[in-house]
Amino acid sequence: MMVVGLLAYWAGMALASVAALLLTLKAIIWFQCGWCSSSASMTGKVVVITGASAGIGKETARDLARRGARVVMACRNLEKAHRVAGKGSLKEQGSTNVIICVRVWKGGGGSHQTDTGNDLVEVRLLDTSSLTSVRSFADNFIKTEERLDVLILNAGIFGHSNLEYTEDGLELTMATNHFGHFLLVHLLLGVLRASAPCRVMLVASRMHLFARSFDVQKLNFPDQKDFGRIAAYARSKTCNILLAVHLADLLRGSGVTVNALCPGYVYTEILRRVEWGLSLAAVEKVTSFLIAKREVQGAQTSIHVAVSEEGANVSGQYFEECKVSKASAMARDRGLAKKVWEKCEELVQLAPEEKLHL
């Protein structure tokens, strides 16, 4: 019995040590997270955030609304967006995250009042995977709004394991994460330039480092052999950064800054919706517990670029943890950026009047 007792004691001590080590690791990772230190007011500013009904976009919307901005939540699921904006429950069903605040918005209808008293929060329909939806959103916005101070291109998906095309003939992940945003920024550029100084931000990812060199003519994954879920996501995020680089060059001196950013590894709906398989699901859960940020932490770099002086003074940069970082060599290749830009113009069927004229 004494031997059994000793074994149980040492087993318990070992488990406690492992648990303490893991918690220490998590604490170290969290303390290294960047945090927006700016207290800048956004009163009088108009902000559009795509994919603002969940995750990083939702937390970014909350922060900017608290600062007094008029926030337009551009979302494909209107029912969900109105629920978030109108009722304020931040804890999504099935989420394992602990949310610090349990209410975002109060009120209902098209405009919503935040917990800070800002009643200038609006929900509008936008599905970035649909070129028709993008054009409809932009047309409506231009007709109803006089200015746009911050455009945050945040919407994104991790995609499916099988190659899937949209009604426009675009690969679904590329369409949602990049092509739709490419078109949107073109269509809103007139109001952006008229509102200068203003900011355009693309929420990319460190996953762009997984992107392999590719033939620009096959940007849209025309066949299955080049396709993979990770490959599509990484390519879309590389294209986000390339767009920021090229557009920043084109708009130099205009008062419109364009930057890309990585929010870090955040356990949002994008990951929760992925079908990992039984074995990978367990690994993903443990990894997420150890190193994943909460959504409010993941939003900090977006908030920093949107409100800080640095976000207004630099352009064509890539941010991580609320500071300028360095993207991959491929994502900084200006020659490639120009080629991808021209291919995107073709793929989104950009009309002559929609093209950027400087």
Residue type, 127: D
- Catalytic residue check, 267: no
Catalytic residue among 9, 165, 233, 318: 233
Task: Please say whether the beta carbons of 241 and 327 come within 8 A.
Answer: yes
Residues 6+ apart with CB under 8 A from 23: none
**Whether the bond into 222 is cis, omega within 30 of 0:** no
Using CA atoms, how far residue 314 sits from 144, 194, 243, in Å, is: 30, 19, 15
Half-sphere exposure of 217 (CA within 13 A, CB side): 0
Using CA atoms, how far residue 179 sits from 17, 90, 345, 347, in Å, is: 48, 29, 9, 8
Task: Please say whether the beta carbons of 60 and 48 come within 8 A.
Answer: no
Q: How are beta strands 121-125 and 111-114 bridged, if at all? A: antiparallel
Which residues are catalytically annotated? 233
